[in-house]
Amino acid sequence: MMKTHLFSKAILVGKLSLLFLISTFFGGCVPTRQSSTNSANNHFESFYAGEGGMQYFIKPILLKNIEKEEYLMADFTFRHQNEATDSVTVNFSIEGNELYKKIDSLVISSSSVAFATKRIELLFNEKSKRGYVSRYTTKVSQNDMRHLFGQGTWDYTIYNETLSNSFLPTPKSKKTISAINNNLFILM
């Protein structure tokens, strides 16, 4: 009986040792990302684009229309070399009860910056749990976008023939905007 008990303990120690070695080996091979609420890695990704400089993708930022219970998610993609010369691609999705088949213009503003774009392209419309999702894309100046991120309060207003709807950042989104400005745009 004693031999069986010792044998069981030896097998258990062997299994634990093997598990430790495997986890140590694979733990060193798996890429890790530091996690922090203000970490730049949580809000944007950067990629080296050769002579084109760096390409940045700012992850979706949530804005809300309180009156209509609609949501707008905006993400941004741009390249930056030594100076802001390229445009920023702004993709945004609107989710709510209304189907947006056409948007004539988009005005993005803050307390000190405002700019508008009329070249807005519909990517798709689809059904969702909340009603519909309408996905659009447009381009804006990189300098305008840099100034906008310097402000914590945004107002995205969309217009078409029959309506104008404003979307404002949630409190969490305001913190995200500030973190992106402090970790990305302030360095440019």
Least confident of 32-46, 55-69, 121-135, 168-182: 32-46
When pLDDT is averaged across residues 65-73 and rounded to a whole number, the result is 91
State yes or no: pLDDT of 37 exceeds 70: no
pLDDT of residue 187: 66
pLDDT of residue 188: 67
When pLDDT is averaged across residues 118-135 and rounded to a whole number, the result is 93
Least confident of 36-45, 65-74, 129-138, 143-152: 36-45
Whether the Cβ atoms of residue 90 and residue 140 lie closer than 8 Å to each other: yes
pLDDT of residue 33: 35
Q: Please report the DSSP string for the chain in residue order.
A: -HHHHHHHHHHHHHHHHHHHHHHHHHHHHS------TT-GGGTEEEEE-GGG-EEEEEEEEEEEETTTTEEEEEEEEEEESSS--SEEEEEEEEEESS--S---EEEEE-SS-EEEE---EEEEEEEETTEEEEEEEEEEEHHHHHHHHTSS--EEEEE-SS-EEEEEE-HHHHHHHHHHHHHTGGG-
When pLDDT is averaged across residues 50-64 and rounded to a whole number, the result is 87
